[in-house]
Amino acid sequence: MLEVAGIRHSYQSQLVLDLPHWRADEGDQWLLHGPSGCGKSTLLHILGGLLTPSEGIVTLAGTELGTLRGAAGDRYRGRHIGIVFQQLHLIDAITVRQNLTLAQRFAGLPVDEARATEILTVLGLADKANAFPFALSHGQAQRVALARALINRPAVVLADEPTSNLDDENAARALALLRDQARAHGSALVIASHDGRIKDAFEKRLELPARREAAA
Amino acid sequence: MNALALAIAYLRRRPLNTALNLLLLAIGVGTIALLLLFTDQLQKRLQRDADGIDMVVGAKGSPMQLILSSIFHVDIPTGNVSLGNAQTLAANAMVREIIPLALGDSFRGYRIVGSEQNYPAHYRAELADGAWWQEPLEATIGATVSSEGGLVIGDIFAGAHGMASGGAQHAETPYRVVGVMAPTGTVLDRLILTSIESVWEVHAIHDEEADAHDDTEHIVESQSGSGGVLAHGDPDQEVTALLVKFRNPIAAAQLPRQINMQTPMQAALPGYEIARLMQLVGAGIDGFRAFAVVLVISAGLGIFAALYNALAQRRYDIAVMRALGATRGTILRQILLEGVLLAVVGAVLGLLLGHGTAALAGSWLRQEHQIHLVGLTWVHEEIWLIVMAVALGAVAALLPALQAYRIDISKVLARG
């Protein structure tokens, strides 16, 4: 379903990623694991269509991402890929609900308030719908970020270091939520993390070797 | 959450900055709008009052003063001319019509104008109530004199000598209001009209008082039958000014020079003097306009600075929006929209400010001066102010928008 072939990515003529082949099937939950600077964030960006690799092909549900140019690529990403960033990056100027409906609009989908309400309710955020992100606790903000990634029922959810800076209890809770919700939405899940605590929870792991002087 | 709502949300995130830029722009645009309203209304008013009057003849002095005092009734008259000279002029073949005016008195600041029926007829004035003046010391008053001066039909009032209220009163020869004119939108609304003979009579008795014992007969017969004072008046009497209409355009080239050279009278051309007046006023207006343009440009720079600075904080937002599916074009339009929205709101506030100030200043000016300024009117140039604002906002937002357009989302997000 999500497949890469012959991916090599260089940054300032420094090879930061070299992945001959990797594949995730529908509903799979993968951990991209490795130390800082191993290129897992780079890979995540490549999988998410945020970055075009120097070489190689990424295919999502039969569509080769590299063939989609400009606006078409943006729309495709918005519809089929959900991303949870490490820093969450909720848009502070607008409410929680608006963060969600904005994701619908940018994906080129009709705004569906009922869907926004539904997912907020599932994630226990119904009473925060009209709150601004800066008024949320970290846990709440994390759930909003997840809701935003899932609202368009993407084929795959990408999460960058979802457990960093969390204590054991919260890390476990965040991870469980992420995995449960991805499963509930029928989305594949790919997590990039250097967190050793979560390593054993995943059957499917892609270990990326450390690289010296690598960016990202 | 549409683009407009998002733009508003971002503007509200920096309320102080947004308010400051709006204020700057509003003051600039408001000043320009006020100047537009002022010049437009002043010019229209001057043209309406002077419409159809080809030449004004009066005593020697400043031609501008002659025009101001006898057409617009704002300055003091240059003096009087003898009726004899006026009658000679009336006989000239190039003259189609003469409206004689006898000025000098006022009531509560409203000027009492001795004239003939062709004066209100010239402005197509109609009676709202009562009748035109017939007998000596009957007066027909303008709409404003009635509504704001408080005179009604049947009122008896004494004119005061001079043009400002508070002059010596002609208490022995009071006027009686016999009619009220309908509003004309001209200077007529603020005038008290009576016959020239009435003005003579008032001043004859006034002079008599001054001379203490003068037994000369001063009762003036009504001469407003056919032809009026110009046909039958005593040539030794005086009038203040003559509003002249020409029979043909050649007269404009010949008559004024002839009058100025060969008679003790002065001729002035309203068109020329109004143009001169607007030029004088225009110099001051240009200064104000330059000041306003500087304000508008500052506002543009302010919008640019605000969007440019905000961009540093918004890089992540923009990258995230792109990750959510927003295209480069969407982001570009979003930033442009913010600039344009700010500018348009500022311009609209400015127009409201300009019109509000005009209305406020108008109500004050009306009391203090004979200037009529209203706020509830629209000058077609104002549409250009909006167009200008849109352009200003777009130009100010262009560079920040292009920067947002070029953002490398992966790089920005990798840093975060």
A57-61, A81-85, A160-164, B202-206: least confident range: B202-206
Measured distance CA(B408)–CA(B322) in Å, rounded: 10
Minimum CA–CA partner of B10 in chain A: A93
| pLDDT exceeds 80 at position B96 | yes
Mean per-residue pLDDT of chain B: 87
User: CB-based contact (8 Å) between B13 and chain A?
Assistant: yes
Q: Is the pLDDT of residue B366 over 80?
A: no
**ipTM at complex level:** 0.92
C-alpha–C-alpha distance, residues B339 and B400, integer Å: 10
Beta strands B55-59 and B265-268 are antiparallel
CA distance A111 to A105: 6
- Looking at the complex, report in whole angstroms how far the Cα of residue B338 sits from the nearest Cα belonging to chain A: 13
**Token duo for residue B272:** 């020329």
Residue B274 touches partner A, C-beta closer than 8 Å? no
Whether residue A51 lies within 8 A of chain B, CB to CB, comes out as: yes
Indicate if the pLDDT at residue B413 is higher than 70.
yes
Q: Does B316 touch chain A (CB under 8 A)?
A: yes
Q: For residue range B254-292, what is the model confidence (pLDDT) as tens digits?
A: 999 999 999 999 999 999 999 998 888 888 888 888 888
Task: Decide if A89 and B316 are in contact by the 8 Å CB cutoff.
Answer: yes
What is the residue type of B403? Q
Q: Which fold has domain A2-206?
A: Rossmann fold (3.40.50)
Give me the residue spans of the domains in chain B. Answer: 3-46+284-415, 55-268
Query: What mean pLDDT do residues B95-102 have?
Result: 94
Phi-psi domain of B316 (left: phi exceeds 0; alpha: psi -120 through 50; beta: other): alpha
Share of residues in chain B with pLDDT > 90 (%): 56
Q: State the best of A75, A106, A132, A151 to mutate against chain B, taking most chain B CBs within 10 Å.
A: A106
Q: Do A71 and B327 touch (CB under 8 A)?
A: yes
Beta strand ranges found along chain A (DSSP E) = 2-11, 14-24, 29-33, 55-60, 63-64, 81-84, 156-160, 188-193, 204-207
Cβ distance B175 to B138 under 8 Å? Answer: yes
CB contact under 8 A, B327 and A89: no
> b/e string for B200-223 if b means 16 or more Cβ within 10 A?
bbbbbebeeeeeeeeeeeeebeeb
Range list of H helices, B92-223: 118-122, 143-147, 196-210
Residue A192 at interface with chain B, using a CB cutoff of 8 Å: no
- pLDDT exceeds cutoff 70 at B192: yes
Give domain limits for chain A: 2-206
